[in-house]
Structure 1
């Protein structure tokens, strides 16, 4: 058979299995059955469609057939052409064109429903049944119904749940076939699922949802959650309106809206089994597969469970690696796939095409590899910490911050400034230069000693304001001995240049290494190659601080990073260079005051005088008042105090914010809140006060201290976070030493009576992650706090789960040094052999080879059971060979396990 013939034969078989009658042109009878497919049907332009589909005697679609192995996206125009050129004498379901397009090479099938508002082809496992096509011809499409779903209301949802559902629905509206929701343990993943499934059933008309769980007992819990889920818009439970079925037989209730089962039972059903034992569902598909070492589960078309059986598949605990061997079960159905997890792996993200619609919280995303964590490098200089004094009698440069006009002023008395005055009323050139020189010197010694010193890592510097950014930009170029392209300012004040173009250049241009900004790149900008964030301004809002830090957390493919930073290998963290104590200063949970950055103070004052009391306007006004007060003289403050009845601008700003505080206004009605705002804003009704504020805002004198030297007090990694991680790890051990089996064995040194298996250590690792702890982070923290006690770099422990044993032992004080498990185990192995030699037992070459394999297995898995010998060393003769080589092998294995781990 030619490839074309083989393809046509496969297509015919698939159509017949789906319930169609397949005919040649000379035997054409569109009424022969509900679903009829005719080969080589003549179109109006003289071309021939490979297959024309009839439902209830009317044409509704075409199938474009290609030879096996040919990709199909390039033939979509051909099938669309046929859909528009049906002869006028042929009855159709739609007047203009046929709605259903299929392309197939006998192995792949792609389907497009032209009625979708954003029609897009998608791969399907098999052809739909005629009954299904007849049904959807009578109604609007599922994707169109998703587009018209009503907006989600907060109701009794937590914010993270609201965000997850909202983001998921936006993903569905973009027809993305897979979406991943990450929510931390205990944040209500199943409750979130109940909410979005209810909305999809009620508002999008989903006929049925498949809810896959990892174990049968989780299925029971899920069913209980659905049955007790109260509908917000109806005073009823979900179970009173819809049927939820937890499968304990291999039969789906035709009226069920939600079907809950394990993936192994669904595989059994697709395989045609009539019975599946519930006991086989108590072990997860992931664990079962791992222990049995089976190959991929092959799925064939089952007409009793057609591909259109479910519109949505929700996969709970989808971080468990089920996609390699079980993915055909998921992809069998023509359904959107929604994953739920607290700990997404890279494989999980890959399966869901990186469509992570919800992350909660950032800490979890860092630990689980979605983002990278930061290390803090603190720089303290004399002037940064303690300020300075400019002696009287000198001519001091002064700059007008608004016009940047520079002039000189003679000091009649000493000008003493504090660190809080820096870059507000005084700029110290040497302070900025000292910080930047310290950073430059640390790049290839402290931060990236493994890199050859050619490309400075992509660096973002946060400045206090535009003038500060201007000074930093120019001094950076001087310190690094580079030109204009090396360091650029990205603020709102960059002339005719477009900030978005500069941001794009910073992302991609290898020459552009350092960007200086104030707020422009503080939030929402994704700069993956960014490896260093420098704070030369303090931030009091914890939310804003986290957003600013977040510019550095993005991961990037090593190849992509090397394109931008050729001397880099990978990005496994970013550095936060703290030059002002931002990592140490007290934070509030408030958002930034300034919400209308693009509006002038004059316009804000005009709006307030006109009666504008919106939250954004008043919050921005308060922020501007604080900034003005920070830059005015004592005489100006006295003048203000007279107008405000002894109040300062800071106190006025505080009064304004009180009117926006929900806690302070919760007992007031709307009229009372407006009255309170009007009372506080009375001074702004006076033109003289508004003019004074405008004058003061422009009266921005900036003294330039270009003669006082500065020096570095110290520059080192911040140990606060490392100590916090270690303390949390110790607390975790103390709280769980009797609850988590692996911890209990290590804590009680009970290796003789209990087996410290890989599964138990993996369970411990999962528990650590669920408590925002990660072995890599813990190891790094010990290396920072106790460098003389840590003998191996944290990178060397990646991929070997048994190193958790060493962490626990070191934390408990059982070991004086922290060394990776392989190093310890190898030493103990040699000692054990030495003890055997002292007993007169000398191993020959074959015995030593066998023992080496056992040792390597224990290093990777912490324990080798007698039952594992056959599967692990089957190619070496397995248990029979072991018993031939060694007398009393069972005791030898027990002794060796204990010798290496205990």
Structure 2
């Protein structure tokens, strides 16, 4: 009898009762079928599907924020320990100490905290450990004192109906709280942009504050928008215990303080408002985006941290800075936890991307003026060869800017003219010229609303005032923004679908921060992926093996070494990015860009109007299953991927013909990395997945959906059915010709208006003699569609 019990039967009849009998609370401590990843997003027909996410059969919690055990269940055709390897894999991901496998006849336990004694053991159903036993074993393995245990066991803040932290957020919070409880005074967390670092910071602070381990706390950021967003959103629950420090007032009656570091420090002593607090006032400082100033020993950040050196410091960043001169790891230590962009995409919490690279002839060949050639303002152009690094700095080829704008407008016209887009430019002057060029490419939309395209740079108040509207998913305008440095970090643009790179970027940190503007997902507004248009070869940085790897310290401090001058540190922005966007042009008091002609012509910029510029190559690259960009052709990649699964044409045909639902095969292909939507764009949108695969993977001549539908009609296949049933099948065939086979396999199709003249779904199915006969008729129709 036991051999016939399903996995669910085993859970309900044996495992759950055994766990309850051991003292675990069914409603508070036991969670079954826990999905902990969302499943990687795969684009499909102006929508998306998700690969199957990871799901644990059981997770057992000592408290809501402390998972202690994971159980993988198997039916009784499997041995008691057959689920252990999968459970161990999940436990490692979830940072859970005790791991169990069961088939309902007993348990196999693996203790991940135990390295000195027996790691695995067999348990009967009646000897499953209680919550107190597992907690005591875990507490002992970590060496918690009574005071440390009180801090570690402090609950999360949970508002009614609020979201619980994702698994990686919980790990980041728990590891940090444990480290601080055990006396760790310098701690580093590395989490990819879009993974909720501020939410993580809030829960760390809240738990340490509630447990009274830390009583007065400073959250330090480098942009006003970051401070204000944090106070209004994640930190709002601190209420009247929280305040923002400015350089005008100091009130020491609060417990949670937020500050813009530029607002509390400066070259003159009177600007160093932080010195109004005693050095021992704060016992915890959380530094957001700590890859910036705090990595550098001579920065204003470090000056503040040195002043409050007795406090515990926690650094948060997506991009830790590790160079020969500056190091986050040297200051904070090795990261307590790292959650990478690749992990976030594979888990389905971050948006995947594709890259379209454009190459201009002038970028490859360079440009040299004719003898005596002058620019549009009558300036004699210095005779030398200008290349990509000069463009829009020392030399402006105005037609190059126009060509970039044309390609951006062309892409948006083919996809969505109202998708949020950020164009990263060389400097403010370039950003303004790009704004004008985009406006000229979209006169209809700009006439309708001039805020369709806006320049958002540090020197422009009108643009900065529109930043909140750009970020707001409900606000249509602005749609396209041009910027230089201001929007590289701290801009939570959930619906940004297009990142345009028209600036030479050599810093992997800056590049990764820019990419982070597109990684957020907002399914409500249809944001589940994004595209990068690269006009400067910046995406070569994706090929850097360290791009998404673990940070490695290469800084070697030496006694007596001088501090690193700011100009040698190429990865950071100016010390005050809210007031100066790029530092290249000098500005007049009114904020306009002016370029000073000094004796050495160092700041001279030549504006060339008539130089022809054209695109010489355009290459599309895709995010692969391994987290790297696919550099081979889409057809070659598809052929290799399909033939790894179906080695011969006959093998694929047999699988296709035997499948009751073709949609299942299509989804299987998508999950294996076959990019059907991209194939449609390159091979043709009139073919369905079957013919795309036949053509690309097996070199067969494809038939369009319409050709296949016409072939069915020629064979008089429908004559065996009555008039009404035949009319329904003919419309299903037309639906296939228009939209593909996956759109006729569900009975939901019968609810469409085109079928309403034949009656309700129930009435239509009756014409076929019932549901089973209807489904059989659809399968026969598919056989006719794909007949040789």
TM-score between the two structures when normalised by the length of structure 2? 0.46
| Structure having the larger proportion of residues in helix | 1
The higher radius of gyration belongs to: 1
- Higher RCO (C-alpha 8 Å, min separation 6): 2
TM-score between the two structures when normalised by the length of structure 1? 0.41
